[in-house]
């Protein structure tokens, strides 16, 4: 089973030990990044393994490899030697591993490591991308005796991750470490077992909520939410594709339920830039089900061997489940939205309701279809007006832009106002799209965003006295339906109250 390694980047040994104690119950190995230590602190690194009490990696990463060491090679070699030279007879008090780059050949250093039971990690780093022939690069590093081969590259695209995954097969059957750095590589860290990696590198999240390196996960999150230590080759894989995915609650929802129901499955965020590259990877990873987020709800349609009647004429898919005959697609946002809206309004239909829909993406398509089915009349407003017109024409709705004419139409369709765009979402544009519209306090206002709980749009509506609802209730409803499609089981109602209160 793959292990969790905590990368320690504090400026003092004491600071690193405090971080280690915070995460000790979640990790298997600690990497001491000596290049991050203050110069005086480097003199005491040989004591770290004894103080840490768990297997430790000695690393001094050069700037060229993404580290902070900027001194000469001679000084770096001497510091590495100091960490090994005073090794103790009890190997548990020595560094379990020392990370040495492939281009650093120092026989005396390597001999010292082997003498005291310290395993050498022979590493290759590329912080700008992946090697043009990553398979050949890995092959060239294989014949290294008992050394661990480590390849750490930055994945700049989904195609990069696919290439690295395929290249990892070169090392099948032996220990090696594989790291896909960057935003697109995050799922390779969760699925280290599937990628064949000996360990997954994690970090402590800083005060700003960011990891030590792009794409790294918090050690506790990896161990608890994703149940990393229970992931095996037999674990079923589900996930969500989109870009960005930072605000998505889907990983929390599904992994929480999988744990409560003791299901051998993991749900993973898959930030992607290419549906075609990802679908190739999905086949090789044997992914069983996918949630589909913006901007790919229309782009996935060509990969569906089957599509339920609920997708058309909407033309947007948010749920894909693998069947014997291929990918089945549908849109659970549709019933999730209508159930949530009707409960919010306390109504059984939308007859005599005049409604404004803001946006013209996949979510707006689902909303418009349900409003039409439930008897409502609507206007669709969007910056790109031809997109609004395309949806409106399906149901003989009005349409317009986010301009003065659009505002006039909005006043005539103001019983219910539904915001379907990503504007206001965490990590996205936090603006209020319709500052020119003055709420009267009589509108019922729904924003499909649920992170943050209150967007600037909802806040202004509430301040005017409007009833408001965010997208969390809709999210839960549609996710319960996705659970059914993924597992073939009804969502266990005994967990519903816990789920409804846990993510908002």
Q: DSSP state, 402? A: S
Can you name the residues that pair with 292 across neighbouring β-strands? 241
| Residues 159, 277 contacting (CB under 8 angstroms) | yes
Tell me the backbone φ, ψ of residue 383, rounded to 5 degrees.
Answer: -60, -45
- Angle, helices 362-373/385-395, rounded to nearest 10 degrees: 30
| Residues 119, 146 contacting (CB under 8 angstroms) | yes
Helices (H), 60-191: 73-85, 107-115, 134-140, 158-167, 186-190
Question: Is 297 an annotated catalytic residue?
Answer: yes
| Residues 4, 29 contacting (CB under 8 angstroms) | yes
Distance CA 434, CA 345 (A): 22
Reference 238, options 211, 257, 217; nearest CA is 257
Using the structure block, give the residue that is written with the tokens 């992607």.
Answer: 272
Distance CA 67, CA 57 (A): 15
From the candidates 137, 169, 246, 297, give the one annotated as an active-site residue. Answer: 297
Distance CA 311, CA 456 (A): 31
- CB half-sphere exposure, 319, CA atoms < 13 A: 25
Distance CA 332, CA 24 (A): 40
| Positions marked catalytic | 297
């Amino acid at each position: 089973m793959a292990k969790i390694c905590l990368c320690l980047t504090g400026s003092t040994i004491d600071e690193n030990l405090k971080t280690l104690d915070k995460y000790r119950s979640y990790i298997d190995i600690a990497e001491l990044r000596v290049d991050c230590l203050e110069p005086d602190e480097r003199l005491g690194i040989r004591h770290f393994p004894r103080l840490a009490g768990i297997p430790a990696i000695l690393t001094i990463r050069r700037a060229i490899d993404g580290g902070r060491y900027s001194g000469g090679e001679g000084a770096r070699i001497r510091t590495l030697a100091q960490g090994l030279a005073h090794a103790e007879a009890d190997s548990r008090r020595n560094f379990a591993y020392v990370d040495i780059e492939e281009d650093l050949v120092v026989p005396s250093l390597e001999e010292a490591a082997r003498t005291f039971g310290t395993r050498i990690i022979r590493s290759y780093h590329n912080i700008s991308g992946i090697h043009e022939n990553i398979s050949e690069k890995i092959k060239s590093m294989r014949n290294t005796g008992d050394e661990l081969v480590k390849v750490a590259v930055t994945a700049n695209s989904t195609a990069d991750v696919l290439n690295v995954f395929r290249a990892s097969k070169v090392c099948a059957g032996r220990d090696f470490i594989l790291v896909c750095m960057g935003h697109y590589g995050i799922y390779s860290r969760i699925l280290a077992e599937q990628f064949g990696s000996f360990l997954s590198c994690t970090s402590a999240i800083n005060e700003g909520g960011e990891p030590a390196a792009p794409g790294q996960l918090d050690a506790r999150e990896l161990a608890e939410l994703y149940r990393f230590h229970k992931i095996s080759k037999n674990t079923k894989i589900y996930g969500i594709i989109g870009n960005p995915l930072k605000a998505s609650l889907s990983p929390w929802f599904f992994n929480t339920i999988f744990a409560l129901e003791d299901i051998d499955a993991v749900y993973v965020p898959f930030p992607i830039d290419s549906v075609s590259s990802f679908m190739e990877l999905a086949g090789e990873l044997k992914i069983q089900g996918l949630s589909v987020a913006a901007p790919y709800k229309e782009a996935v349609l060509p990969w569906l061997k089957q599509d339920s009647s609920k997708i058309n004429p909407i033309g947007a898919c948010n749920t894909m489940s693998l069947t014997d005959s291929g990918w089945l697609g549908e849109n659970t946002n549709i019933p999730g939205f209508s159930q949530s809206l009707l409960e919010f309004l306390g109504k059984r239909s939308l007859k005599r309701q005049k409604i404004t829909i803001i946006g013209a993406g996949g979510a707006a398509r689902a909303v418009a279809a349900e409003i039409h089915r439930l008897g409502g009349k609507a206007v669709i407003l969007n910056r790109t007006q031809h997109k609004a017109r395309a949806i409106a024409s399906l149901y003989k709705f009005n349409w317009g832009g986010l301009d003065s004419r659009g505002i006039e139409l909005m006043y005539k369709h103001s019983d219910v106002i539904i915001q379907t765009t990503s504007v206001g979402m965490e990590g996205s544009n936090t603006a209020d799209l319709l500052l020119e519209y003055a709420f009267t306090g009589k509108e019922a206002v729904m924003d499909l965003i649920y992170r943050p709980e209150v967007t600037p749009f909802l806040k202004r509506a509430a301040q005017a006295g409007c009833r408001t609802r965010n997208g969390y209730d809709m999210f839960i409803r549609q996710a319960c339906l996705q659970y059914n499609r993924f597992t073939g089981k009804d969502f266990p109602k005994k967990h519903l109250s816990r789920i409804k209160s846990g993510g908002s």
